[in-house]
A and B are shown apart, each in its own frame.
Chain A
Amino acid sequence: MASLRCFLRSGKVFVTVRDALNQAMDEELERDERVFLLGEEVAQYDGAYKVSRGLWKKYGDKRIIDTPITEMGFAGIAVGAAMAGLRPICEFMTFNFSMQAIDQVINSAAKTYYMSAGLQSVPIVFRGPNGSSAGVAAQHSQCFAAWYGHCPGLKVVSPWSAEDARGLLKSAIRDDNPVVFLENELMYGVPFEMSEEVQSKDFLIPIGKAKIERQGNHITLVSHSRMISLCLDAAAVLAKEGIECEVINMRTIRPLDAEAIETSIMKTNHLVTVEGGWPQFGIGAEILARIMEGPAFNYLDAPAVRVTGVDIPMPYAKNLEDNSIPQIKDIIFSVKKTLNV
């Protein structure tokens, strides 16, 4: 499938999230010889979700490595390579499989710079699709944002748009620290407009800074990844009723841009967080706790509230699955309840 590029007069193009990731990796592989990609089916198969399409053909066996189905092993190998001076991109076919390797991510990658008091850095990127997909059932649908976001020493990034994917992946690869890069399978094929500036080879999005996707005065919606699309859709519906939502795209889970959220709450006085993952000890839970502990608490006119996935393993049947994750109507409902309208 050729990449979706439609040229508009202003030099803007439409690029899918998949192609943005592909181009970002391509450019970073070209820019720095120490960067290489390893994972299952990333080379000759062009990637299980075609994110690494064409890279093996261009860069060969040395830079694009197919691994056996052995996550614990190859994640460890990737971390070791990073310790010795290379800059690996370690792909997990989905983050569900990263659980097999999580010791290497946390104990070998995240904590080492601290344990060595600055002697040993680990410049590695762990990337792959995270969270629910469509019909892949319980073992393949978990969101790991909260799990990885819990750990000091890790940077955790969750892009939404093609621009996010491009800028954040480049930043992640250039960052000298372990970065967990949470993509979303359902977003891979979605095209986004990309300005000329974003297309430039040195376009970077700083890790740790959120973006306001939509301005509004009545309520703040904070979210990440695919749920941003739902927030924007909900905001469009609510706008017709005169309710203007401010939608904040976190972009980074850790370090969390609490300041952006606080600034927004000081304007809107209301907060609803939206995530696809489970509620307990989740992203929303952390945001609400931080707001409680910070200067924005006194600006809240109503309790802050979380919209999350249902607290169950993901069922397979379509009707059950649809009711296991937030829908646009859940966001609208929660906004109205919070605003008491």
Chain B
Amino acid sequence: LLLLLLLKSNISSVVVSARTYADFTPQATFDIKKCDLHKLEEGPPLQAVLSREEGLQYYRTMQTMRRMELKADQLYKQKIIRGFCHLYDGQEACAVGIEAGINLSDHLITAYRAHGYTLTRGGTVREIMAELTGRRGGIAKGKGGSMHMYTKHFYGGNGIVGAQVPLGAGVALACKYLGKNELCVCLYGDGAANQGQIFETYNMASLWKLPCIFICENNKYGMGTSVERAAASTDYYKRGDFIPGLRVDGMDVLCVREATKLAAEHCRSGKGPILMELQTYRYHGHSMSDPGVSYRTRDEIQEVRSKSDPISMLKDRMLSNNMASVEELKEIDVEVRKEIEDAAQFATTDPEPPLDDLCNHIFYNDPPMEVRGTNPWTKLKSVS
């Protein structure tokens, strides 16, 4: 009778509290897609165990990432964010799955589609959004913008296609050198995969057995060019040749996580680098100045959204296994929405950086120096 009354009173939070958490399944096992393997004896397991806590955390993080990117879209159209803005919505399972397979003490580097990774690597939505709007509370004090965000053990945020890959191997070299059992996850896209410097990096990483997980986020298009038009071989997981590789369903956070765990184990055991190709999709165009429909159909985008959305996939899994309730997930949505709104509010009201910060951060650990302004009479101050 009490339950009926509670249901009738229409207050969802009361309904939730009427169901104790003991009613939910604490963990469940899910089938995940088999990975195609290259020069690897064994792939990741075909099943993944997901706990309720993990599920809720992945859900929250992916939803936060999704809403943050959509908010960035909005702010860009209002001209509050300017310049380049490359959005990550659709690819959330990659960033979240990878982080779930490594530790925060490991290292990660990616290209310019980096907002999601800035979040998983410890950045807050507030600092990310304030960086996009170019304010002093931004993660790079407003000086970097969308493509140049950094946190501890996260080396950006890099604007030049492919350049981040040798950098990532260099981080891995330092990991091996310093002997702390850390590794580096080094990400690049399908467009970058044809860059020469990546093959140079494969060679050295392999020769020197660097603890580097190369990850190609294949979202099928390098700006406006489809993979078939850019690459003689679109088997990106095989392009490392002598480097073992695996091709992973990048829309399934569990698949990504299990593959990352395998890759991390491979690196930490001293076997050298390994290559993962994540098959994923971006809903937005290449950047905010690309509508994203001149080189692909709206039908294609819609199909991915309805059949393979990473957040929906996780949600369906959890609900159909009684790992969470609809209301509980809705509550998370509400909290996420509020977090994004608060962050956007901060990002639009925080003041711009102070003008006397203009010339700072040229050199590290150097005494203050003078910097020439736009004319010889303007001498500006620069401190480390």
Contact = CB atoms under 8 A, between A and B. Distances in A.
Contacts of A319: 134, 352-353, 355
B376 to A, nearest CB: 6
Contacts of A307: 374-375
Nearest to A279: B372
Contacts of B134: 135, 316-320
B372 A316 contact: no
**Chain B at the A interface: mostly helix, strand, loop or mixed?**
loop
A234 to B, nearest CB: 12
A48 interface: yes
Interface in A74-103: 96-97, 99-100
Given A316-B143, A320-B352, A72 B196 contact: yes
Interface stretch (A105-113, A173-181, A246-254, A325-333): A325-333
Interface stretch (B44-52, B63-71, B99-107, B158-166): B158-166
B355 A320 contact: yes
Given A45-B295, A137-B83, A68 B223 contact: no
A279 B357 CA distance: 20
A310 B144 contact: no
A324 interface: yes
**Chain A at the B interface: mostly helix, strand, loop or mixed?**
loop
Contacts of A72: 196
A140 B84 CA distance: 10
B230 interface: yes
B371 A305 contact: no
Interface stretch (B187-195, B212-220, B301-309): B187-195
Interface in A165-214: none
B83 A134 contact: yes
Interface in A305-341: 305-313, 315-320, 323-327, 330, 333-334, 337
A310 B352 contact: no
Residue among A45, A308, A316 with the most chain B CB within 10 A?
Answer: A316
Interface residues of B, number: 52
Interface string B349-362: 00011010111001
Given A70-B195, A137-B83, A310-B380, A320 B374 contact: no
B299 to A, nearest CB: 19
Given A68-B231, A307-B374, A318-B134, A41 B352 contact: no
Contact of A66 (B225, B371, B373): B225
Interface in B30-50: none
A42 to B, nearest CB: 10
A317 B352 CA distance: 7
A40 B223 contact: yes
A38 B276 CA distance: 31
A236 interface: no
Contact of A316 (B142, B158, B160): B142
26 contacts: A45-B224, A45-B225, A68-B191, A68-B225, A69-B194, A70-B196, A97-B161, A100-B160, A100-B162, A136-B145, A137-B84, A137-B144, A138-B148, A306-B376, A310-B371, A310-B373, A311-B359, A311-B372, A313-B362, A315-B358, A316-B145, A318-B82, A319-B352, A326-B375, A330-B374, A334-B376
Interface of A: 40-41, 44-45, 48, 66, 68-70, 72-73, 96-97, 99-100, 133-140, 279, 305-313, 315-320, 323-327, 330, 333-334, 337
